[in-house]
Structure 1
Amino acid sequence: MDLSHHLSAIAQARVVTPLKGLDMYTRKPGIISLAGGTKSQCPLLKYTLLLGLPSPAYFPFASVSGEVLTYDSFSLKTSPESSSSWFWKWFSGSRSKERTTTVTIGKYPKQPEDINLASSLQYGLATGLPQLEDILNEFVRKVYQPAYGNWTTLVHTGNTDGWGKVVLTLFNPGEGLLCSEWTYPSAMASAIPFSVTPVPVKMDSQTRGMPRPRVLYTIPTGQNPTGATTLEERKEIYEICVEYDIIIVEDDPYYFLSYNVSP
């Protein structure tokens, strides 16, 4: 499906940077890196032609370690304890009894797929660390189960940052954004500097005088601020967006904050 007509003027004006354009040559036999480090020291070397990157030998960190809770620290079943008892347990000395394990990330990988500092502290790929990308792709595949094959994931620093990139990619100044009448205010505020006007589902005369909105912003699970989750209405909205060629952007931080049964 060609969605290029949805791209903003800024997105359409983007070109491949000269150094990124050299990536096509890195898979050819005999290509030599023009920077310090070796493939064994920095696995990223097998993905890009590194020009002027520092050798990992100069990175000041030999390893990074941390104590993390074990995977079974939180029960998947409803606890009989009240929220207040959990609060006092957290701020009392009893939390020192929690089971933890030590996670250590070394400078160089023992296995090619290992997360390592040689790659993490180096200039990276626009798509993020390959190991992290693999983890995220597997998570999306298991949890969200995309209904099509050519999907991908991109790493950002948070939903507001990710949404800002979506606005920059899809909107031109003066365009409208479809959204719920009551929705997350920070998302709407971050679109205003781009001269994008939120258009609530219940339109009025103030929303006229602009092109028909091409993007719908929605919080599919536990809608903020109402908390509503309406599967049937979401299906109907999806069909409408398909018919009218509208891109759906889902802001879904509350996916796991749901109950299996009524309280």
Structure 2
Amino acid sequence: MNLKNLCNEVKMLASATGEFLKTEQAALKKKDIELKGTRNYVTYVDKEAESRLVKGLKGLNVLLPEAGFLTEEDTVEFEQKEYTWVIDPLDGTTNYVHGDKPYSVSIALMRKKEVIMGVVYDPVADEMYYATGKGEALLNGTPLKVSSQATLENGYIGFGIPYSLDERGEQVLKNAMRQFRKCSFRIKGSAALEICYVAAGISDTYFHTGLSPWDVAAGAFILHCAGGKCSDFSGGDNYVFGKEIVASNGLIHEEIMRSIIEGN
């Protein structure tokens, strides 16, 4: 299997899906929006975009036969296979349904439990983040490089607030509040893109709880390939399936863990 050729095909699918999202956002009406839970929206757009992605990825059987799917909207049944596509057709739905941005299309390919390719596309900015291996992370063809910020002071930090905030997540936010005068915090609303912003050196770190594999798999792989670091809140590597992530340039990681995640 040629990963770069496969990635090129996936990028085209992500781009086409992004164009569909842009067109439909302007036509979206309040009556078309459903609630899966408090602040957790879903629309016909999510479902249609996912169906299009699944159909397109199934069409790549010549390059990757019999891959399984792990999807947000369950338009295809999950089956355990050697290769699995992990896809979020619309990451940033809350932004999307309010006519806001950013939002993104996120596609990762896993071999067993290891991500081997990631594509994240921002259709509004027309920014395509993608990676196929260490040192091979790019944005619209330009190599990505993490920032050199080594301290929390004057750091530029992204974070998110989950739909359901447990006790630990609430404590992490309280820890972060104590740092508000030291650095700049931003919520952009698309985990996949915000991890890519760390890969691009825009943000120095990003943390979030209550996440799903399709929110982070592609972005975390892209960051890793750009020289950054990801961990769960315990400092381990269960950040794709563990529902929590700290993504950083690597240099600031230890201080973020100590000051914000652990609150020491």
TM-score by length of 2: 0.23
> 1 or 2, which has the higher strand percentage?
2
> Which is greater in Rg?
1
Higher relative contact order (CA 8 A, sep 6+): 2
